[in-house]
A = this chain, B = another copy of it.
Amino acid sequence: MIKNGQTIFLKNKPKIISSASIVGNKEGSGPIGKFFDKVVDDVLWDEKSWERAEGKFLEETVKCAIKKANLLPEDVDFMLSGDLLNQCISANYSARSLNIPFFGLYGACSTMSLSMLLSSVLVSSGAAKICAAATSSHFCSAEKQFRFPLEYGGQRTPTAQWTVTGAGCAIISSNGIGPQICSLTCGKVTDLGVCDLNNMGAAMAPAACDTLVAHFKDTNKTPLDYDLILTGDLGQVGKDILEELMNKEGYDISKNHNDCGLMIFDNDTQDTHAGGSGCGCSAAVFCGYIVPLMQKKHLKNVLFMATGALMSPTSVLQGETIPAIAHAISIKACE
């Protein structure tokens, strides 16, 4: 492995040998609903709380991805996961049930690329043969924790995004067939002073720009080297800001940029305002929709960059602005 700037180049390229996604009813009714492995109508999924339900989405998704790779949980060396809930209980309790050696992460909605990044380092270095990178979110547990009690029925502002109920998992392996992970760009925490909890896209766009510029400089690539630059989850507001910020930096990404938050819902019919968000948004879109497209070589070069807002309700109440981060993973369809 060698590193240039913020980017790690992988000599032994890990493969995404399988991926899975399980989502809720609203996500299943969206434009890419038919691509998810399972759609669960009941937001509680037979559990007693939204938090336990979220854990079930994560656990069942990891099990599904492992099964699709024709493996057993004991074949997986390490699970890398985290989520939005306080103390990441969704990931922690899932790791307890799965009994796989576990690295806990916190990257808010950047967790899917964070977990894939560190999994790739572990696999490429020989420290692991197979890792499971996964994350989840749940609309109800997130609203309760970050915004208002659902029962309050608060109005959502036009810039607000809708937290996805769902989970995604990618199995990253040294052997096998699948899209190859080529390079990893680690982000810096970036903060341009946004403090509106209902405008995460604006808070995260500068972090996405910072990592994207670093990626292009470190790798000597241009936006056109990718069929798709996939951010998540900036939503409409953040997507527009990112494209404008990138233009100022001399990069036109408008032709091949899309955002997971805009792909999972149809705002015209689903009333999700600026789009989807939550760790589960980019996880489900990437694992459920993008990986299969790369397996079929309908997409050949993808830069996947999940973005996370790193504040807490406490930090915002104390007057802090919202810091954000984005990690980018460069992926090539198998030859």
Where the two chains meet, the residues of A that have a C-beta atom closer than 8 Å to any C-beta of B are 1-3, 6, 8, 48-49, 51-52, 77-78, 82, 84-89, 91-93, 95-96, 99-108, 114, 117-118, 121-122, 124-129, 186-191, 310-315, 318, 320, 323, 325
Query: Which listed residue (B48, B96, B323) contacts A93, Cβ 8 A?
Result: B323
- Return chain B residues, CB-CB under 8 Å to A107: 103-104
- Return chain B residues, CB-CB under 8 Å to A124: 125
Nearest B residue (CB) for A318: B49
Q: Contact at B126–A3, with CB atoms within 8 Å? A: yes
- Return chain B residues, CB-CB under 8 Å to A88: 106, 310
Nearest B residue (CB) for A323: B96
Q: Contact at A188–B102, with CB atoms within 8 Å? A: yes
Q: Contact at A188–B106, with CB atoms within 8 Å? A: no
Q: Contact at B104–A312, with CB atoms within 8 Å? A: no
A3, A52, A106, A190 — most chain B CB neighbours (10 Å)? A106
The A interface is mostly helix, strand or loop, or mixed, namely: mixed
> In the assembly, what is the distance between CA of A108 and CA of B92, in Å?
11
New contact pairs (6) apart from A1-B125, A92-B310, A105-B106, CB-CB < 8 Å: A1-B126, A1-B127, A82-B104, A99-B189, A102-B186, A103-B117
A89, A313, A320 — most chain B CB neighbours (10 Å)? A89
Q: Contact at B3–A128, with CB atoms within 8 Å? A: yes
Q: Contact at B101–A6, with CB atoms within 8 Å? A: yes
Q: Contact at A89–B310, with CB atoms within 8 Å? A: yes
Nearest B residue (CB) for A101: B186
Can you list 25 A-B pairs, Cβ within 8 angstroms, ordered by A?
A1-B126, A3-B77, A6-B101, A51-B315, A52-B318, A82-B106, A85-B314, A86-B87, A86-B312, A87-B106, A89-B312, A92-B189, A93-B189, A93-B315, A95-B188, A96-B189, A96-B323, A99-B188, A101-B186, A101-B188, A103-B114, A104-B106, A104-B310, A121-B121, A121-B127
Given contacts A1-B126, A127-B3, A325-B102, contact A108 B87 (CB under 8 A): yes
Q: Contact at A86–B314, with CB atoms within 8 Å? A: yes
- Return chain B residues, CB-CB under 8 Å to A78: 186
Q: Contact at B77–A314, with CB atoms within 8 Å? A: no
- Return chain B residues, CB-CB under 8 Å to A191: 96
- Return chain B residues, CB-CB under 8 Å to A82: 104, 106
Query: Which listed residue (B87, B104, B122, B318) contacts A105, Cβ 8 A?
Result: B104
- Return chain B residues, CB-CB under 8 Å to A87: 84, 86, 106, 108, 310-312, 315
Query: Which listed residue (B93, B102, B118, B312) contacts A103, Cβ 8 A?
Result: B118
Q: Contact at A314–B89, with CB atoms within 8 Å? A: yes
> In the assembly, what is the distance between CA of A310 and CA of B313, in Å?
20
> In the assembly, what is the distance between CA of A189 and CA of B105, in Å?
14
Q: Contact at A187–B320, with CB atoms within 8 Å? A: no
Nearest B residue (CB) for A2: B126
Q: Contact at A48–B103, with CB atoms within 8 Å? A: no
- Return chain B residues, CB-CB under 8 Å to A190: 96
- Return chain B residues, CB-CB under 8 Å to A86: 86-87, 312-314
Q: Contact at A105–B105, with CB atoms within 8 Å? A: yes
Query: Which listed residue (B8, B89, B105, B188) contacts A315, Cβ 8 A?
Result: B89
